[in-house]
Amino acid sequence: MIGCAVAWRLSGTAARVTLIEAAHDLCEGASKGNTGIATSGGDCHPGTLELELVRRSSPGWEALCARLDTPFHRIGTLAVALSEEDEQRLPELLRDAQDTGAAAEVVTGDQARALEPLISEGARAALHFPDDGIIDSIRLTIGYAELAARNGVEVLRGAPVRSLARDGDRIVAVTAGDRRVATRSVVNAAGVEADTISRLAGGEEFRTWPRQGQYWLFDRELGGRFRKVVGGVPTPVTRGIYCVPTTNRSLLLGPTAVDREDRTDRAVDAETLDHVFDAAQRLVPSIGREHAIKTFASNRPASDPTYRIAVDAAVANLVHAAGIRSTGVSSSPAVAEMVRGLLEGLGLPVGDQRPDAVTELEPLPRLLGHPSPEQLFARDPRYGQVICACEQVTTAEIAAAHGMAVPPTSLEGVRKRTRATGGRCQGAFCLSGVSFLHSLHAGRRPQGIAVSEPDATLGVGADDA
């Protein structure tokens, strides 16, 4: 998210930019595993850089998402008080929220149920943040990178950074995968691995670690009925579990927050999932497990301090954008702008937009819910061929994804760009069709196409591919 946002922000300037990603695709870490809430800041702490950047980002979402072909809806959040104790904390939380500058109001239980009829009869009152939004964080990340690539940013995927070559107090080149990239400056937006990059560069010693969150995803028939993001009353320890109607209309429950050591572990466990489900069901009693379509875990980057956005103390041309914990979606445009400012201060030509810079992506229409399928079919008859029936994804959309400047290189990449296989049957119906299409577009035999990373092939015996 942050790396792609920075690449996007710099891509319209005179700077030459290379975006380096260790995984096989963009948006493989916290960017694809988060609630997709774009907070307006009411739950952040006054006086922090985090709040400042969230507040700077919040008003611009409608305009930015329109330019990046990313779904966004400012639907608001209800923090619901179910107990007397919760209710008593609301006035204090309201004052805190008002200190942040975000819009907030305390509403009665009845008012809360009028705003979101699905919440529990037991809701006594709620704190309402009307300016919070929901965003498709995957499309946002990919949109940032796509626009960056259209503006000439070179995107290296599957290219873990091996070393950073120094000359005095400056980095002069980055070796990533099998490429050596000469550079005047480096931005460290490596998420959970930000500490590794700093160490490789000989920069400041700090520690980042994974904070694991587990989630449930529910059928879009259920999510489509929600009007608001619904959460509990935050405690000093945690913001708790949210029920988030996503921009895809599915319903997301989560996350948990557990600090871990293993950076690659994304395992879910039954006990934690039970806890998440129970917490969500207390808020919205009509949620039933029979409508669950997926469970997953992701690691967001934790660090101390958070929001380390600064030039390194030892390496003069290394800019950290690290420890952007769980608010990375919400603050990403302002973080990108702040990083641009730091780079300008280092003398990089990133002050002015190039007159020829592309500033928006042409929207790719989707069949699902489209008001005029006739118009789509007239534009491209491949809109008549639905491949993924649950999400109603057509061959036109899959072809368009493969025609992007940063195309998918795996089935997971196809899902992230099109939603194909991401619906209620999780590919039980369409995965073979999607696989053959991806195989055709990617020019690889079906056996050898990747589910995710290149060695995670769909078929075994792919060596003859």
What are the residues binding another protein (CB under 8 A)? 216-217, 219, 221, 264-270, 273, 290, 292-296, 367, 369, 373-374, 377-378, 381, 383-386, 389-390, 392, 424-429, 431-432, 435-436, 446-447, 450-453, 455-461
Residues β-bridged to residue 245: 251
| Complex with another protein: residue 138 or 293, whichever CB lies closer | 293
| Complex with another protein: residue 191 or 333, whichever CB lies closer | 191
For the bound state, the minimum distance from the C-beta of residue 83 to another protein, rounded and expressed in Å, comes to 30
Is the previous residue joined to 333 through a cis bond, with omega within 30 degrees of 0?
A: no
Scan for tokens 């995670």, then name that residue: 456
| Complex with another protein: residue 192 or 309, whichever CB lies closer | 192
Angle at 9 between CA 5 and CA 12, to 5 degrees: 140
Q: Name the nearest CA neighbour of 202 among 233, 166, 226.
A: 166
Phi and psi at residue 342, to the nearest 5°:
-65, -40
**Cβ within 8 Å of residue 443, ≥6 positions away:** none
**Cβ within 8 Å of residue 141, ≥6 positions away:** 1, 4, 26, 27, 31, 32
For the bound state, the minimum distance from the C-beta of residue 96 to another protein, rounded and expressed in Å, comes to 36
**Residue 135: in which H helix or E strand, if any?**
strand 133-135
For the bound state, the minimum distance from the C-beta of residue 349 to another protein, rounded and expressed in Å, comes to 40
| Complex with another protein: residue 266 or 275, whichever CB lies closer | 266
Residues β-bridged to residue 18: 154
| Complex with another protein: residue 178 or 264, whichever CB lies closer | 264
- Residue 226's alpha-carbon distances to 34, 120, 288, 441, in angstroms, are 18, 13, 14, 37
What span, in angstroms and rounded, lies between the C-alpha atoms of 143 and 140? 5
| Complex with another protein: residue 249 or 340, whichever CB lies closer | 249
| Complex with another protein: residue 127 or 411, whichever CB lies closer | 411
For the bound state, the minimum distance from the C-beta of residue 266 to another protein, rounded and expressed in Å, comes to 6
**Residue 345: in which H helix or E strand, if any?**
helix 328-345
For the bound state, the minimum distance from the C-beta of residue 328 to another protein, rounded and expressed in Å, comes to 21
For the bound state, the minimum distance from the C-beta of residue 420 to another protein, rounded and expressed in Å, comes to 13
Distance of CA 284 to the CA centre of its chain: 25
For the bound state, the minimum distance from the C-beta of residue 387 to another protein, rounded and expressed in Å, comes to 9
| Complex with another protein: residue 127 or 396, whichever CB lies closer | 396
Q: How many CB atoms are located within 10 Å of the residue 267 CB?
A: 11
What span, in angstroms and rounded, lies between the C-alpha atoms of 187 and 346? 12
Q: Name the nearest CA neighbour of 296 among 214, 223, 419.
A: 214
| Complex with another protein: residue 301 or 427, whichever CB lies closer | 427
For the bound state, the minimum distance from the C-beta of residue 330 to another protein, rounded and expressed in Å, comes to 25
**Residue 438: in which H helix or E strand, if any?**
helix 431-442
What span, in angstroms and rounded, lies between the C-alpha atoms of 348 and 193? 25
Scan for tokens 């730091």, then name that residue: 342
For the bound state, the minimum distance from the C-beta of residue 289 to another protein, rounded and expressed in Å, comes to 9
